[in-house]
Amino acid sequence: MNRPTTEAEYLAGLVPASAGRHGFSRRSMLRGSLLAAGVPALLAACGGNDTAGGGGGGGGGDVTLGSNFSDAVPVKAMNAMVADAQTKQGIKVKLNTVDHTTFQNNINNYLQGSPDDVFAWFAGYRMQFFAAQGLASDLTDVWSTIGANYTDAFKKASTGEDGKQYFVPTTYGPWAVFYRKSLWAEKGYTAPETLDEMVTLSKKMQTDGLVPLAFADKEGWPAMGTFDQLNMRINGYQFHVDLMAGKEAWTDQKVKTVFDTWKGLLPYHQTDSLGRTWQEAATGVVNKTSGMMVIGSFIGQQFEDADQDDIDFFNFPEVDSNIGADAVEAPIDGFMMSKRPRNEAGAKKLLEYFGSPDDGVVQTTNDPSGIAANTKSDQGHYTELQKKCAQFVASAKSISQFMDRDTRPDFASTVMIPELQKFISDPSDIDGLCTEIENQKKSIFTS
Amino acid sequence: MSSPDLPLVAPQTAHPAPTAGSHHGTGKNQRVKRLSGFDRIAVILMVAIPTLIVVGLIWLPAISSVFLSFTNWNGIGSLADVKIIGVENYTNVFTNYPPFKPAIEHNLIWLVVMFVVATPLGILFAVLIDKDLKGSRFYQTALYLPVVLSLALVGFIWQLMYSRDQGLINAVLGTQVDFYGDPKWNLWAALFATCWKQVGYVMLLYLAGLKGVDASLKEAAQMDGANQVQTFFRIVFPVMRPINIIVLVITVIESLRAFDLVWVINQGRNGLELIATLVTANIVGEASRIGFGSALATIMLLISLVFISIYLAVVMREEER
């Protein structure tokens, strides 16, 4: 190694040869300038909607529609809906599909930036929150057209805290206990009516070498479903609503009873649930290694077409006969209008279509995991399961959304997910758990 | 010890001071004066643009994070109507946020494992490969391969190994360990996967350094009767000081910003809490507890500052010498 004669040579010697080679090559310069050129383009793309519908001017341009239905089957349904809306309403719709999780994670920035005229969202607290922040438009006049198509429960679920409607419901899917008909017929199981019967059934399944309750909570939200079911069976629908709205204390004995009951059921749940996704757990039901599963009707997406008729479900059993089992959890999906749509007339036309019976037919034909929210939608094409789901929800006295739709999103994701996971991995300290939840709830709900 | 080549005069008289106006002068002042207008603009731009970028992209966001950590902003509406709530976010972080303590512990474990396992292993592999063993190219490629993968991808690859029901490890061993789901295991499973990648990275850096070490130094040491281990620790390692510092800094940085892998596994919950994932869970997403998340980010900044100060202190002491 020669002694460096200048400082530059010395410094050059410190740089590993492999790194030095790339120093300031033409290629990297080119890449840099491309990047520099790309940034403004990217920025322009973000605000692209400003110009996209500009051609038509006052109300004549495309209606932009932001959709979080990004999986194959829902995309098919959305495309069919858009095509149908364009012919029926005489509007042009530009569909922007964004990955489901990304859409939800960016919803704040999306709605404050330049959102699409109409966007897909959920009913309940999650809708009310954005309506209260002034990020969504009042749809009362759309409801005067479509209102007759819906039951009161759906109108209530579409109404903001100020009494105005902000949401057009399209489909929903109930949560219940799902199983395979053929497996149950073979083993001679019958649907339990009470929790005790469910425990007896679970024990029988265990002796038959089955996992009684398929269970997963890697994503954090599936366990919320079980909590909601138990809470509504033990304490009733109104308590669920008040607890989620932050009006009831989590340290209340009523909540502790829910956790206690759940603790008694945990031995029948599939173990190691925190490393498993709901799809993996559902596979156990599909493969007949698990007996049943508390999940939404979207479990149907995990079954082959040929097995669709083999799916069945029963209502989560009664725990307290005074409370009964007439509260059903059925999260509603639908659409909202952003605060300042560029093409308001077109957007309302599109929303009227979404609220029409035709939309329900198109959507549920293309994606049979959902049921049309619209009561006037023709149900002739429904599968056995869809028919049963529709009947099930229609007979319910009250309909809840889901924990993460009925409460503040920040509370659901930063408090309830970790705490429920903690409970599942170690259910021994229920008092401590409830105190932790309550303390965090206070700080979030009062902020 | 004086060099025989230089005349024995005081430094300032060694070179005659240039006469004013001389075109041959090499004095510092004159060189500056001879900068043309264009040069001066170029210099100003070269200083101003990076400064603007650093201030705009690093300092402003950092300072606003600190500011936001004292507010209850939920990410909606203008900054004008945020409410300043003092240190409430910080009290909540420390007293009313159960995932915080495990997150700090996990970050520390992460740092220690990186420091004690991944880095020495990377150095060892670099030394072995530097010996030009048979097939060292193959080993080098095999060890380096994980480095080109993103950590998110590494997470997916190891999912195939670790999965409880369908994973390779459980299939081969006939066990049913829930590597990603069981808080007893998942931190170590994640660390193993990170080390798998980090080892290759450290190895590459070190290998590049080793290639630059003067072979005659090693020969001389061997002539003096040093064995391989002694040669490495007494001669090669100290000579590699610049690389050692780079590797050290990279180890610390990688441990503090550990995020991607864990986020892919389970979004940093249930035994895999890290400060970075807590920040993200609170700020990104529907939750939008911007104020609270900023408090967490500020704490992370303070912890980083400790390491940065140590590093700067070492580097500056070095320069003074």
**pLDDT tens digit sequence for B152-179:** 788 888 888 888 777 888 888 888 888 8
Q: How confident is the model at residue A22, as a pLDDT?
A: 38
A132-146, B93-107, B135-149: which range is least confident on average? B135-149
**Interface-testing mutation among A111, A414, A419, A433, with chain B (most B C-beta atoms within 10 A):** A414
Tell whether B222 is within 8 A of chain A (Cβ): no
Q: Are A407 and A257 in contact (CB under 8 A)?
A: no
Q: How confident is the model at residue A36, as a pLDDT?
A: 40
CB pair distance less than 8 Å for A418 and B180 = no
Q: How confident is the model at residue A437, as a pLDDT?
A: 95
Structure tokens at B124: 């060892």
Q: How confident is the model at residue A29, as a pLDDT?
A: 40
Q: Is the pLDDT of residue B209 over 60?
A: yes
pLDDT tens profile B272-292: 899 999 998 888 877 678 889
Q: For residues A19 and A148, which has the higher predicted lDDT (pLDDT)?
A: A148
Q: Are A400 and A245 in contact (CB under 8 A)?
A: no
pLDDT tens profile B41-75: 999 999 999 999 999 998 999 998 899 899 888 77
Residue B288 — φ and ψ, nearest 5°? 55, 45
With beta carbons under 8 A apart, name residues in chain A contacting B186. Answer: 275
Q: How confident is the model at residue B242, as a pLDDT?
A: 80
- B260: nearest Cα among B169, B181, B153, B115: B153
Q: Once rounded to an integer, what is the mean pLDDT over residues A373-381?
A: 87
Q: How far apart are CA A173 and CA A299, in angstroms?
A: 10
3-state secondary structure of A299: helix
Q: How far apart are CA A129 and CA A409, in angstroms?
A: 9
With beta carbons under 8 A apart, name residues in chain B contacting A282. Answer: none
Classify residue B118 by burial, with Cβ atoms within 10 Å: 0-12, 13-18, 19+.
buried
Distance from CA of B83 to the nearest CA of A (A): 9
Q: Once rounded to an integer, what is the mean pLDDT over residues B11-17?
A: 50
Q: How confident is the model at residue A424, as a pLDDT?
A: 93
Tell whether B242 is within 8 A of chain A (Cβ): yes
A128-137, B25-34, B85-94, B225-234: which range is least confident on average? B25-34
With beta carbons under 8 A apart, name residues in chain B contacting A18. Answer: 204, 208
Q: How confident is the model at residue A74, as a pLDDT?
A: 84
How many CB atoms are located within 10 Å of the residue A287 CB? 10
Q: Is the pLDDT of residue B103 over 50?
A: yes
Question: What residues of chain B, 88 to 117, have a C-beta less than 8 Å from chain A?
Answer: 88, 92, 96-99
CB pair distance less than 8 Å for A275 and B179 = yes
Helix (H) / strand (E) containing B145: none
Listed in sequence order, the residues at least 6 apart from B299 whose beta carbon sits closer than 8 Å to its beta carbon are B90, B93, B275
Q: How confident is the model at residue A132, as a pLDDT?
A: 87
Distance from CA of B178 to the nearest CA of A (A): 6
CB pair distance less than 8 Å for B76 and A135 = yes
pLDDT classification of A32: cutoffs 50, 70, 90: very low
Segments of A103-241 assigned E as strands:
118-122, 168-172, 175-180, 211-214
Closest partner residue to B270 (CB to CB) among A19, A274, A443 is A274
Helix (H) / strand (E) containing B230: helix B228-230
Q: Is the pLDDT of residue A298 over 60?
A: yes
pLDDT classification of A16: cutoffs 50, 70, 90: very low
Query: Torsion-angle region of residue B149: left (phi > 0), alpha (psi -120 to 50) or beta?
Result: beta
Q: How far apart are CA A109 and CA A43, in angstroms?
A: 15
Chain A residues with a Cβ under 8 Å from any Cβ in chain B: 1, 13-14, 16-19, 104-105, 107-109, 112, 126, 133, 135, 218, 220, 271-276, 280, 409-410, 413-414, 417-419, 421-422, 425, 436, 439-440, 443-444, 447
Q: Is the pLDDT of residue A12 over 50?
A: no
Q: How far apart are CA A245 and CA B72, in angstroms?
A: 19
Residue of B nearest to A280 (CA): B165
Q: Is the pLDDT of residue A20 over 80?
A: no
Q: How far apart are CA A79 and CA A237, in angstroms?
A: 36
Query: Torsion-angle region of residue A413: left (phi > 0), alpha (psi -120 to 50) or beta?
Result: alpha
What percent of chain B has a predicted confidence (pLDDT) above 90?
22
How many CB atoms are located within 10 Å of the residue A27 CB? 9
Residue A175 — φ and ψ, nearest 5°? -95, 140
Helices B119-130 + B241-256 axis angle, to 10: 140
- B295: nearest Cα among B32, B90, B120: B90
Q: How confident is the model at residue A70, as a pLDDT?
A: 81
Q: How far apart are CA B242 and CA B315, in angstroms?
A: 10
Radius of gyration of chain A (CA): 26
Residue of A nearest to B180 (CA): A275
CB pair distance less than 8 Å for A418 and B98 = yes
Q: Once rounded to an integer, what is the mean pLDDT over residues B234-246?
A: 85
Q: How far apart are CA A211 and CA A205, in angstroms?
A: 7
Q: How confident is the model at residue A56, as a pLDDT?
A: 35
Q: How confident is the model at residue A366, as a pLDDT?
A: 86
Closest partner residue to B270 (CB to CB) among A14, A104, A421 is A421
Q: How confident is the model at residue A111, as a pLDDT?
A: 87
What percent of chain B has a predicted confidence (pLDDT) above 70?
88
Question: What residues of chain B, 149 to 178, have a C-beta less than 8 Å from chain A?
Answer: 163-165, 176, 178
Classify residue B131 by burial, with Cβ atoms within 10 Å: 0-12, 13-18, 19+.
exposed
Q: How far apart are CA B200 and CA A105, in angstroms?
A: 34
Q: What is the mean pLDDT of chain B?
A: 83
What sign has the CA pseudo-torsion B253, B258, B261, B263?
negative
Residue of A nearest to B98 (CA): A436
Residue of A nearest to B210 (CA): A16
What percent of chain A has a predicted confidence (pLDDT) above 70?
86
With beta carbons under 8 A apart, name residues in chain B contacting A126. Answer: 286
How many CB atoms are located within 10 Å of the residue A415 CB? 26
**Interface-testing mutation among B286, B290, B294, with chain A (most A C-beta atoms within 10 A):** B286
Q: For chain A, how long is the longest CA-to-CA vector?
A: 93
Q: Is the pLDDT of residue B86 over 60?
A: yes
The DSSP annotation for A404-437 comes to HHHS-HHHIIIIIHHHHHHHHH-TT-HHHHHHHH
Tell whether B280 is within 8 A of chain A (Cβ): no
The DSSP annotation for A333-367 comes to EEEEEBSS-TTHHHHHHHHHHHTSHHHHHHHHHH-
CB pair distance less than 8 Å for A273 and B181 = yes
Distance from CA of A21 to the nearest CA of B (A): 12
With beta carbons under 8 A apart, name residues in chain A contacting B245. Answer: none
CB pair distance less than 8 Å for A276 and B165 = yes
pLDDT tens profile B112-127: 999 999 999 999 999 8
Distance from CA of A286 to the nearest CA of B (A): 15
Cβ pairs A/B, distance under 8 A? 109
> Which of B99-113, B208-222, B234-248 tops mean pLDDT?
B99-113
> Which of A380-384, B166-170, B294-298 tops mean pLDDT?
B294-298
Q: What is the mean pLDDT of chain A?
A: 84
Listed in sequence order, the residues at least 6 apart from A33 whose beta carbon sits closer than 8 Å to its beta carbon are none
Residue with tokens 């024990």: A203
With beta carbons under 8 A apart, name residues in chain B contacting A105. Answer: 284-286
Structure tokens at A158: 């579409």
Q: How confident is the model at residue A52, as a pLDDT?
A: 35
pLDDT classification of B39: cutoffs 50, 70, 90: confident
Q: Is the pLDDT of residue B139 over 80?
A: yes
CB pair distance less than 8 Å for B179 and A220 = no
DSSP secondary structure letter of residue A270:
P
Q: How far apart are CA B94 and CA B90, in angstroms?
A: 6
3-state secondary structure of A294: strand
Helices A222-235 + A253-265 axis angle, to 10: 120
Closest partner residue to B208 (CB to CB) among A18, A112, A276 is A18
Q: How confident is the model at residue B29, as a pLDDT?
A: 54
Distances (CA, A) of A166 to A132, A135, A421, B285: 10, 10, 34, 22
Q: Is the pLDDT of residue A180 over 80?
A: yes
pLDDT classification of B110: cutoffs 50, 70, 90: very high
Q: Once rounded to an integer, what is the mean pLDDT over residues A173-193?
A: 93
- B109: nearest Cα among B283, B278, B274: B274
Q: What contacts 24+ positions apart, CB below 8 Å, involve B72-81?
A: B72/A447, B72/B291, B73/B290, B73/B291, B74/A410, B74/B288, B74/B289, B74/B290, B74/B291, B75/A108, B75/A109, B75/B283, B75/B288, B75/B290, B76/A108, B76/A112, B76/A133, B76/A135, B76/B288, B77/A133
Q: How far apart are CA B90 and CA B61, in angstroms?
A: 19
